[in-house]
């Protein structure tokens, strides 16, 4: 979500596309991945705060996966860095990671650090109109949890693109979710870009997928790699709302409504 139209369009007004998409979604809680925090490539904006401003939401948080830009030199966050930046704090250096925005008051924010895969993968990217393959290294990840004042725990994440390693990361998040102080397990939801195109593996034995929809790539979706997961709720317990490609992201938005 670092501020480019998808597919790339030099003439696109990216800020207008983002504002229109958020207003169209009308969500109370939004989880975003691949967001920039004051990086030059996206105009030196705090993108999560920008989303909150468009939503009219009073609560937001950014969890940096990297200090610096993923396109340039970067380092892992260390003890000196703010691990969860909110509307009540700030981070000294620019970064890249995930975020959440909520109109519902947030009682507490939580973060789980996830190591990146020790090996990368070959990935294809368009260069001068042709697909070229590059060896891409993985980077650290995280999960960001918000305990809302209505009793819900919502966790957002963006997992590794390395097969099997992302499944290991998801197992860690599922375990972590149950260690947080939420007595009603039916009010825990994990959401995000899991980079796992197999719903059976995503669900496992104890979790259910709440929405079925091909989400990637947005202009011609072939696979579902974005999910909502719950231990207690079923798909029939929520309303799944589908939206067409808006021209903003390479993923289609995945949205549910819970009573």
Number of structural domains, the chain? 1
- Segment 221-244, tens digit of pLDDT: 999 999 999 999 999 999 999 988
Is residue 183 one of the residues assigned to a domain? yes
Mean pLDDT of 197-217: 95
Is residue 119 one of the residues assigned to a domain? yes
Under 8 Å between Cβ of 112 and 172: yes
Give the pLDDT band (50/70/90) at residue 52: very high
Is residue 6 one of the residues assigned to a domain? no
Is residue 164 one of the residues assigned to a domain? yes
Is residue 1 one of the residues assigned to a domain? no
Task: Output the pTM of the full model.
Answer: 0.92
Using left for φ > 0, alpha for ψ between -120 and 50, and beta otherwise, residue 192 falls in left
The count of other CB atoms within 10 Å of the CB of residue 250 is 17
Is residue 147 one of the residues assigned to a domain? yes
Question: What's the pLDDT at 169?
Answer: 98
Alpha carbon distances (Å) from 183 to 147, 151, 164, 180, 187: 12, 9, 30, 9, 9
Q: What is the CATH number of the domain that holds 69?
A: 3.60.10.10
Alpha carbon distance 208, 230 (integer Å): 5
Is residue 5 one of the residues assigned to a domain? no
Comparing CA positions, the residue from 129, 182, 175, 130 lying closest to residue 154 is 182
- Segment 106-150, tens digit of pLDDT: 999 999 999 999 998 888 766 776 778 888 889 999 999 999 999
What would the DSSP string read from start to end of 87-151?
TT---SS-EEEEEEEESSPEEEEEEEEEPPPSS-EEEEEEETTEEEEEEE----EEEEEEEETTS
Its sign, for the CA torsion 32, 76, 124, 193, is negative
Give the pLDDT band (50/70/90) at residue 2: very low
Is residue 234 one of the residues assigned to a domain? yes
Domain range for 142 is: 14-257
């Amino acid at each position: 979500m670092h501020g480019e139209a998808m597919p790339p369009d030099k003439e696109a007004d990216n800020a207008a596309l983002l504002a229109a998409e958020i207003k169209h979604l009308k969500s109370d809680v939004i989880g975003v991945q691949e967001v920039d925090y004051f990086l030059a490539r996206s105009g030196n904006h705090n993108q999560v705060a920008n989303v909150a401003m468009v939503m009219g939401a009073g609560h937001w948080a950014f969890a940096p996966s990297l200090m610096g830009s993923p396109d340039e030199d970067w380092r892992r966050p260390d003890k000196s860095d703010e691990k969860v930046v909110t509307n009540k704090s700030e981070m000294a250096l620019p970064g890249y990671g995930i975020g959440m925005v909520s109109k519902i008051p947030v009682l507490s924010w939580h973060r789980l650090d996830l190591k990146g895969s020790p090996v990368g993968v070959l990935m294809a990217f368009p260069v001068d109109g042709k697909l070229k393959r590059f060896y891409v290294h993985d980077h650290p990840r995280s999960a960001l949890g918000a305990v809302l004042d209505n009793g819900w725990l919502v966790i957002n994440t963006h997992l590794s693109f390395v097969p099997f390693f992302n499944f290991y990361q998801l197992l860690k998040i599922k375990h972590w979710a149950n260690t947080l102080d939420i007595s009603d397990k039916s009010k825990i939801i994990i959401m995000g870009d899991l980079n796992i195109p197999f719903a059976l593996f995503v669900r496992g034995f104890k979790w259910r997928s709440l929405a079925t929809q091909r989400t990637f790539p947005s202009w011609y979706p072939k696979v579902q790699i974005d999910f909502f997961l719950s231990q207690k709720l079923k798909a029939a317990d929520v309303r799944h709302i589908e939206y067409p490609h808006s021209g903003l992201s390479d993923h289609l938005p995945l949205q549910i409504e819970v009573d």
